A and B are shown apart, each in its own frame.
Chain A
Amino acid sequence: MTESIIDIKNLTKNYNGTKAIRGISFNVKKGEVFSMVGPNGAGKTTTVEICEGIRKPTSGSVHIFGEEFSKKSKKTRQKIGVLPQEYRSFERLTVKETLKYYSSFYETKRSIDDIIALLDLEDKKDELYMNLSGGLKQRVGVGMALVNDPELIYLDEPTTGLDPRSRRGVWDAIEILKKEGKTIFLTTHYMEEAEFLADRIAIMHQGKIAAKGCLDDLIHGHGGHYTVLLHGFDPKNVNLLGKEPKIDTNGTVSVKVKNPTEISKILQKVIKNDLKFANLEVKRTNLEEVFMNVTGTTIEEGDAA
């Protein structure tokens, strides 16, 4: 089994009265991207900040690199890189100056030029931070978490509020880091982000981990299925498909099946009976549905709560 870089047991955190974290346990293994997903207020930031040493846990144990982590652990701080939530940097320093600034604190350093290249910031390196777009700012934020060539990188909602293209830019950077073998603790409230980047996922809801594991396991364990959608299908023929199809208001027929073999069976029936349809679509259960199944709400409803 691979080594645990972060090991959390029975963690709780109260903010005078508010129970932000209600007893969670998880570990993050060397070289993986571990993603915590959940709505606003679920307790993601609190958890990350405890792991970073910014906050103190109310109870439970927190081990980082196998050591009990307290704020005073200078050795650990040399080995971690952090992008705080909603981070904004010094307005009147350039990209390069910002990276140099943070770099000056560490014993181990990654070359600034290397980071600039990795994050595709070459054209912007002499631009003041305040003049950058949101996406570029976040890339600088990721960059400043890399100046000490850390083994463990914390990224707290690195793409929240970004347009899809800028989000892609940040994802690309995270993928490169993943290939380099970095351990990454990523929080997000975008399901696609966790699906796309994470090796393992913890679904966080109201201070608890509602489910955790790799994407396949989560889907299998929590209502994993495929949905075959037939658009423009004559509703009179639904009984010929076998199973129990549903018909929605647009007249689209959907059939839930457990595995690809059952998809073939449906298709065989369509062919055998020469049934007509306008379009066919197969959807796999995604994290969004897993989230609904384990928490009973959608992530947007969770945000509002």
Chain B
Amino acid sequence: MKPIAIFNDFLANLKMWYRSKGTVFWAILFPILLMLIFGAIYQGQGDVTVSLHVQDLDETEISEEFISNLGERLKIETIPSDVDGDNYISDNNIRSALIIPEGFESSIQSAYLGSNESIPLSLSLDPTRESVNGIIRGVLGGTVQGWNNDISGAREVLSYQETSVTAEEFKFIDFFMPGVIGITVMTSTIYGTIFRNTKYRKWGILSKLSTTPFSRWEYLVSKMLFMTFISFFSTFLIIIVGVFVWDISVTIDVYLFIIVISTAFAFSGMGMLISRFVKEEETADSAAGAVTFPQMFLAGTFFPLEVMPSYLSSFARVLPLYYVNEGLRDSMIYEDGSGALFNTAIIFSIAAVLFVVGALATKWTE
């Protein structure tokens, strides 16, 4: 192994990559467009204005006034006063709720008269939605402070206690973003590998390389470093759009890294295997399309497997991209450690097999 030769090959690939419009489209523009377009289409289904569920156990004029103060800046949804608040919140997957206790009005009245009474409100928030929570806390905190000033000139009469709730419901974009990472890494590695292998063989570049001291293994190492680099580049680009445009709360852990690397290796291996059978440059495109398109639409990128007929969803389970999507969702979005571990293990094994078979199938000379 000569690191300098590997580094040079890597650098040459990078130059060719950013000079080529096609690859830049697939790795940069395509995922950004998907994120923006699909995010916008499904935006209406998520929270546009920040909403807060409120249960008013006091049911008095004062409590209503307090709620209407909050309603100036938040969308208020009502929780019936005759149900158990905590159960209702978890049963209905409510992600932000405020409970106003009974005796709210009378406590405020006695506070006016100088009693030392304090009134705790209870606020429940889903910790995975930090930015939304910030808005709610800001509005509630401001309102509470305003009331306290009016009542007693600063003494803390009203206060709120916060507890966290986790709701199972996610927005479409939360579901979609890991899928975009999956298809982007898949398409850039499969297309890249098939095109490179077929062209370089046809053009005599592989023959030429085989007459130099640069070895097939050095070449492979450099290509994989490059593919991994590009994969992470796209992944972080997508995450940035997700976080800053769609406010997705993303967890970045070791699973993300293993899954992205495995995906790059799995699909490069698949690409190498396919290019063994693709003789002409012109057929490279359709061969790459034939393996990427079904995965794109069936492996649960655009919609969950649950909405598909059962024969299609069982087919999805043989597609490597399915495990990539699931693993990424478990680790980045749902924070489901055991799910992430399971899917990571599967995609890692698929990658090991495909890559080894693909590498062995790739020959420079007869």
Chain A residues near B16 (CB-CB < 8 A): 90-93
List CB contacts (< 8 Å) of B170-229 with chain A: 203-205, 207-208, 210-214
Partner of A54, one of B2, B5, B12, B207: B207
CB atoms of A90 and B205 under 8 A apart: yes
Q: Look across to chain B and name the residue whose beta carbon is closest to the beta carbon of A130.
A: B19
In the complex, A155 Cα to B210 Cα: how many Å? Answer: 15
Chain B residues near A86 (CB-CB < 8 A): 203-204
Chain A residues near B210 (CB-CB < 8 A): 53-54, 71
User: Nearest Cβ distance between residue B269 and chain A, in whole angstroms?
Assistant: 23
Count chain A CB atoms within 10 A of each CB in B2, B9, B204 and give the residue with the most: B204
- For residue B92, CB closer than 8 A to chain A, the reply is no
Per-residue contact bits, chain A 52-63, to B (CB 8 Å; 1 contact, 0 not): 111110000000
Q: How many B residues touch the partner, as a band?
A: 20 to 34
In the complex, A4 Cα to B131 Cα: how many Å? Answer: 78
CB atoms of B365 and A55 under 8 A apart: yes
CB atoms of B5 and A71 under 8 A apart: no
User: Nearest Cβ distance between residue B215 and chain A, in whole angstroms?
Assistant: 9
CB atoms of A89 and B4 under 8 A apart: no
CB atoms of A87 and B203 under 8 A apart: yes
CB atoms of A106 and B211 under 8 A apart: no
In the complex, A106 Cα to B2 Cα: how many Å? Answer: 10
CB atoms of B211 and A77 under 8 A apart: yes
Q: Look across to chain B and name the residue whose beta carbon is closest to the beta carbon of A86.
A: B204
- For residue A286, CB closer than 8 A to chain B, the reply is no
- For residue A285, CB closer than 8 A to chain B, the reply is no
Partner of B204, one of A55, A77, A88: A88
CB atoms of B203 and A93 under 8 A apart: no
Per-residue contact bits, chain A 34-58, to B (CB 8 Å; 1 contact, 0 not): 0000000000000001001111100
- For residue B366, CB closer than 8 A to chain A, the reply is yes
CB atoms of B365 and A102 under 8 A apart: no
Q: Look across to chain A and name the residue whose beta carbon is closest to the beta carbon of B207.
A: A84
Q: Is the interface of B mostly helix, strand, loop or mixed?
A: helix
Partner of B12, one of A49, A90, A144: A90
- For residue B164, CB closer than 8 A to chain A, the reply is no
- For residue A295, CB closer than 8 A to chain B, the reply is no
Chain B residues near A54 (CB-CB < 8 A): 207, 210-211, 365-366
Count, A-B residue pairs, CB within 8 A: 73
CB atoms of A56 and B213 under 8 A apart: no
Chain A residues near B15 (CB-CB < 8 A): 92-93, 97
In the complex, A37 Cα to B349 Cα: how many Å? Answer: 53
CB atoms of B208 and A82 under 8 A apart: yes
- For residue A104, CB closer than 8 A to chain B, the reply is yes
Partner of B9, one of A53, A85, A101: A101
Per-residue contact bits, chain B 30-46, to A (CB 8 Å; 1 contact, 0 not): 00000000000000000
Chain B residues near A53 (CB-CB < 8 A): 210-211, 365
User: Nearest Cβ distance between residue B118 and chain A, in whole angstroms?
Assistant: 71
- For residue A105, CB closer than 8 A to chain B, the reply is yes
Chain B residues near A82 (CB-CB < 8 A): 207-208, 211
In the complex, A56 Cα to B365 Cα: how many Å? Answer: 9
Chain A residues near B310 (CB-CB < 8 A): none
CB atoms of B204 and A85 under 8 A apart: yes
Chain A residues near B2 (CB-CB < 8 A): 105
Chain B residues near A55 (CB-CB < 8 A): 365-366
- For residue B90, CB closer than 8 A to chain A, the reply is no
- For residue B68, CB closer than 8 A to chain A, the reply is no
Contacts known (A84-B204, A92-B19); A101 close to B8, Cβ less than 8 A: yes
User: Nearest Cβ distance between residue A184 and chain B, in whole angstroms?
Assistant: 15
Contacts known (A56-B366, A88-B203, A90-B205); A106 close to B12, Cβ less than 8 A: no
Partner of B213, one of A71, A77, A89: A77
In the complex, A181 Cα to B207 Cα: how many Å? Answer: 26
- For residue A283, CB closer than 8 A to chain B, the reply is no
CB atoms of B20 and A92 under 8 A apart: yes
- For residue A78, CB closer than 8 A to chain B, the reply is yes
Chain B residues near A85 (CB-CB < 8 A): 204
Q: Look across to chain A and name the residue whose beta carbon is closest to the beta carbon of B211.
A: A82
CB atoms of B205 and A49 under 8 A apart: no
Q: Look across to chain A and name the residue whose beta carbon is closest to the beta carbon of B203.
A: A88
In the complex, A101 Cα to B15 Cα: how many Å? Answer: 12
In the complex, A105 Cα to B12 Cα: how many Å? Answer: 13
In the complex, A210 Cα to B311 Cα: how many Å? Answer: 66
Contacts known (A71-B365, A86-B204, A97-B15); A80 close to B211, Cβ less than 8 A: yes
List CB contacts (< 8 Å) of B247-284 with chain A: none
User: Nearest Cβ distance between residue B9 and chain A, in whole angstroms?
Assistant: 7
List CB contacts (< 8 Å) of A177-204 with chain B: none
Partner of A128, one of B19, B205, B213: B19
Per-residue contact bits, chain A 124-159, to B (CB 8 Å; 1 contact, 0 not): 000010000000000000001000000000000000
User: Nearest Cβ distance between residue A194 and chain B, in whole angstroms?
Assistant: 22
Chain B residues near A100 (CB-CB < 8 A): 8
User: Nearest Cβ distance between residue A273 and chain B, in whole angstroms?
Assistant: 61
Chain B residues within 8 Å of A, Cβ to Cβ: 2, 4-5, 8-9, 12, 15-16, 19-20, 203-205, 207-208, 210-214, 365-366
Chain A residues within 8 Å of B, Cβ to Cβ: 49, 52-56, 71, 74, 77-78, 80, 82-93, 97, 100-102, 104-107, 128, 144
User: What would be 9 A-B contacts, judged by CB atoms less than 8 Å apart?
Assistant: A54-B207, A84-B204, A84-B208, A90-B12, A92-B20, A93-B15, A101-B8, A104-B5, A144-B208
Further contacts, 12 of them, CB under 8 A, given A104-B5, A105-B214:
A83-B208, A86-B203, A87-B208, A88-B205, A89-B203, A92-B15, A92-B19, A92-B20, A101-B8, A104-B4, A105-B2, A128-B19
| Minimum-distance CB pairs A-B, first 7 | A84-B204, A88-B203, A104-B8, A92-B19, A87-B204, A82-B211, A105-B214
